[in-house]
Structure 1
């Protein structure tokens, strides 16, 4: 095995710093935890974590090489992903005045599959992972090294989204959400919509 413990530790710290920046997944899982509680937000968070980690796997398997050879593939993925985020934002904005759903009955597209699709809708993490992997690890690594790197990324993503879902579902934070649901939902929708539009418009 070529990859060292020190390299994996640097990878974890770099990923931890990057993952704290607000993105669609962070906003969406927070809003889900506020509105439906920890039990319903956790599967959504796990889907988001898997979706994010799959970009690491795709990078390890050479997806970014495809982006460099055929730049239009990245543009197509960006436009499709941005359109999906705008659609999610529109649904969230339109539903902001609605009463809170029954956590036991409503799914609202925030199950495991919904989280997976949301984080796969943004291809930019593939470029991030590619840059980080190239800067930390040797250029030529074997299958066992790739498995160790992916397992590390998946563990970090799972830990983050699990912790975030549990934190945002705390009773104090949920009571604050209940008192200002309309504005919190619309701010979240505006942020996700802006991220989607920037994904479409920026080159």
Structure 2
């Protein structure tokens, strides 16, 4: 039986959706690959990126709950560190919103499923992001069923996002609009993530 609520899952979906919309290395890679190669050739790569990102959610779920049971004081420490990290991410996103999108990484890992997995696993920052978000939304102690529901939700959101992104960015006319919308997307995401970080730090 689940101890987490539908409202908590909805907040988790909303927070995760806001975070992954802001352009990062994986978003840039799949977008520009879709521009060049088309939807069918890029979809396996996009699904690999989604799977790789969701693996960080597993690490956060398994590591944090065990640690909190053994050392309860670590909850407050992670709450403060996680909130500080979210505020820092929000500041960097706000600061760089006017910047143009960089080119994808020069060493491409290939357009395979596993290429996408490796790309997202090469960046450990999502582990701390997932940890901070999980701490801010869900109880400190989660059952196995809770963890499964949270992971399934994270995987679904990641899969839906990368599938939609690869499909949409394969349409040439959307490329220009995507670049034009970067400033607004980054500023809105920065504001929401910053508020989440502050609420996590100030929670008693």
Task: Sort the TM-score into its range (normalised by shorter chain).
Answer: 0.5 to 0.7
Task: Pick closer, same or farther for the CA change 1:41–1:2 going to 2, 3 Å.
Answer: same
CA contact (8 A) 1:30 1:165 kept: yes
Instruction: Give the whole-Å Cα distance in 2 for the aligned partners of 1:89 and 1:63.
Output: 32
- Unaligned ranges ≥5, structure 2: 68-73, 75-103, 177-204
1:52-91 superposed matches below 5 A: 52-62=53-63, 89-91=105-107
Deviation at 1:135, TM superposition (A): 0.9
* Deviation sequence 1:48-78 (CA, Å, 0-9, x none): 000001100110010796xx9xxxxxxxxxx
Distance 1:38 1:62 in 2: 36
2:171 aligned with 1:170, yes or no? yes
Q: How many angstroms apart in 2 are the aligned matches of 1:146 and 1:44?
A: 26
Q: Distance in 2 between matches of 1:135 and 1:173?
A: 35
Tell me the CA shift for residue 31 of structure 1.
Answer: 1.1
Superposed, 1:154-165 pairs within 5 Å as: 154-165=155-166
**Cα-to-partner distance string for 1:106-126 (whole Å, 9 max, x where unaligned):** xx7111111010000000000
CA distance in 2, matches of 1:140, 1:63: 9
Question: Any conservation in 2 of the 1:34–1:173 contact (CA below 8 Å)?
Answer: no
Give ranges in structure 1 of 5+ residues lacking alignment. 69-87, 93-107, 177-203
Aligned CA distance change for structure 1 residues 138 and 110 (closer, same or farther; 3 Å): same
Report if the CA contact (8 A) 1:63-1:126 is conserved.
no
Structure 1 residue 170: Cα displacement: 1.3
In structure 2, how many angstroms separate the alpha carbons of the residues matched to 1:149 and 1:32? 30
Measured after TM superposition, the shift of residue 36 of structure 1 is: 0.6
- Could you say which residue in structure 2 is the equivalent of 1:34? 35
Of 8-17 and 56-65, the range deviating more from structure 2: 56-65
Alignment of 1:84-163 (within 5 A): 89-91=105-107, 109-163=110-164
Indicate conservation of the 8 Å contact 1:11/1:136, yes or no.
yes
Instruction: Give the CA deviation at 1:173.
Output: 4.9
Aligned residues: CA RMSD: 2.2
After the TM superposition, which segments of 4 or more aligned residues of structure 1 sit over 4 Å from their partners? Answer: none
Q: Separation in 2 of the partners of 1:33 and 1:115? A: 13
Q: Scaled by the length of structure 1, what TM-score is found?
A: 0.64
Scaled by the length of structure 2, the TM-score of the pair is: 0.64
For the 8 Å contact 1:51–1:117, the answer to whether it is kept is: yes
